[in-house]
Amino acid sequence: MGKVRKGVEVSIAMADAVAQADVDVIAAYPITPQTHIVEHLADIVANGELDAEFVPVDSEHSAMSVCCGSAAVGARTFTSTSSQGLALMSEIFFISAAMRLPIVMALANRSLSSPLSIWNDHGDVMMVRDAGWIHVFVENGQESYDNVFCAFRMAEDPNVMLPVAVNLDGFILTHMIEPVEYEDDELIRQYLPEFKMKHALHPDKPVSMGCFGMPEIYTETQMHREDGVTNSYPHILKAWEEWGKLTGRYYHPIETYRADDAEYCIVTMGSYGETAMEVVDALREEGEKVGVVKIRLWRPFPFDEFRRAVLGKKSLIVIDRALSFGGPGGPVALELRSALYKKEGAPTIVNYIAGLAGRDVSRKDFRHIILEGKEKAASGDTEGFTLYGLRG
């Protein structure tokens, strides 16, 4: 495929990216909750356009199990899921990270049942927040396409060797038709060379993976994992930097928009960043000193970059897309409050939880959230959270 710009459904663009990344194995359970990502990949493989194994398994639990097996022998491996599917595969999801298997997943974020929903929020990814995967969030079709390659590059870096989830908002992104610039196959080959794994399973050099961990060693294995995830950070930056050099599209763990001189900022993660920027443009014209802070890298969390972006501001209005029942608010606000605890110049945080199960959050809603949030911050009303748009 040559370099081309086209109007395409984001799921299809992601599937095309996976094919361009020349994956060896795709394992998926392609029924609801699903997207066109693996459906289109099944087509591509069946049509002989990609020399890969497409394994249509009996459940999401099996999908992740197959991914572990194929990644363990050093095969480039991809899967995609959402909500209930992720819940079902969660046992193996944790294991894949512990075994340091560089699987890439397109995680089309959707709400967890019950009530049964197929729409978008971040309840599913927050369930596996602590699994030890790298979590990247994207905002639009181009970022979804690009980050498939970046994710493989990160995952397979010998200094990283971790599974990577590219989180994209279900429906809001997966089912939209957007202009996406496809890169040339040759550029992809240059960016993503053949994968060589150090401890690949092979009869010539037997190793044991996923062993029994006695109390005498379990703590050490967890520190080894913690070190692996934390120290993947510079290599994640490098993967994005090199992609930027080749394509002109640069990605950063924390991205800001009109935030330099802003007194307060709205914080988003995922596709809401696009709407937030438009609303901030309008508010700027009215004289509001407001900006946007966008979290692209959720794990490992970019503490230093985040603090650099926000210390000295008066307040942050954090939009969460998930609720921790009986907890202190949304998971993003919780994280940010923790990151800023006892830091000099820390802004106050006002937390909104909005857009659960795909309820529309329009420009008008963003405007309301920003202006009301600013008032709340000014009056010291910063405890807990507000469930935006709640009736009653």
Binding residues vs another protein (CB under 8 A): 98-101, 161, 198-199, 206-209, 211-214, 216-217, 219-221, 223-224, 227-228
Nearest distance, CB of residue 202 and another protein, angstroms: 12
Please choose, from the candidates 74, 58, 56, 261, the residue with its C-alpha nearest in 3D space to the C-alpha of residue 156.
74
Is residue 259 within 8 Å of residue 288, measured between CB atoms?
A: no
Query: CB of 347 within 8 A of CB of 316?
Result: yes
Q: β-strand 254-257 against 264-268: which pairing, if any?
A: unpaired
Closer to another protein at the Cβ: 1 or 211?
A: 211
Fill in the DSSP letter of residue 165: E
Residue nearer to another protein on the CB measure, 1 or 217: 217
Give backbone dihedrals phi and psi of 324, rounded to 5 degrees, phi first. -100, 100
- What's the min distance (Å) between Cβ of 228 and another protein? 7
Residue closer to another protein (CB basis): 134 or 309: 134
| Beta carbon nearer to another protein, 221 or 338 | 221
Q: What backbone phi and psi angles, to 5 degrees, belong to 97? A: -75, -40
> Any residues with CB less than 8 A from the CB of 224 and at least 6 apart, and which?
none
Nearer to another protein, 221 or 362 (CB): 221
Question: Of 198 and 342, which CB lies nearer to another protein in the complex structure?
Answer: 198
Residue type, 123: G
Supply the minimum distance, in Å, between the C-beta of residue 63 and another protein.
Answer: 20
Q: How far is the CB of 98 from another protein (least distance, A)?
A: 7
DSSP assignment of 161-183 equals ---EEEEEETTTTTT-EEEEEEP
Maximum Cα interatomic distance, the chain, rounded to a whole number of Å: 69
Residues 270/136, Cβ–Cβ less than 8 Å: no
Question: Shortest approach of another protein to residue 96 CB, angstroms?
Answer: 10
CA–CA gap between residue 267 and residue 309 (Å, rounded): 11
* Of 186 and 220, CB closest to another protein: 220
Provide, rounded to whole angstroms, the least separation between the CB of residue 229 and another protein.
12
Q: Provide the minimum distance between the beta carbon of 99 and another protein in the complex, in angstroms, as a whole number.
A: 5
Token pair 């069946």 is found at: 46
Query: What is the DSSP annotation of 299-328?
Result: ES--HHHHHHHHTT-SEEEEEES---TTSS
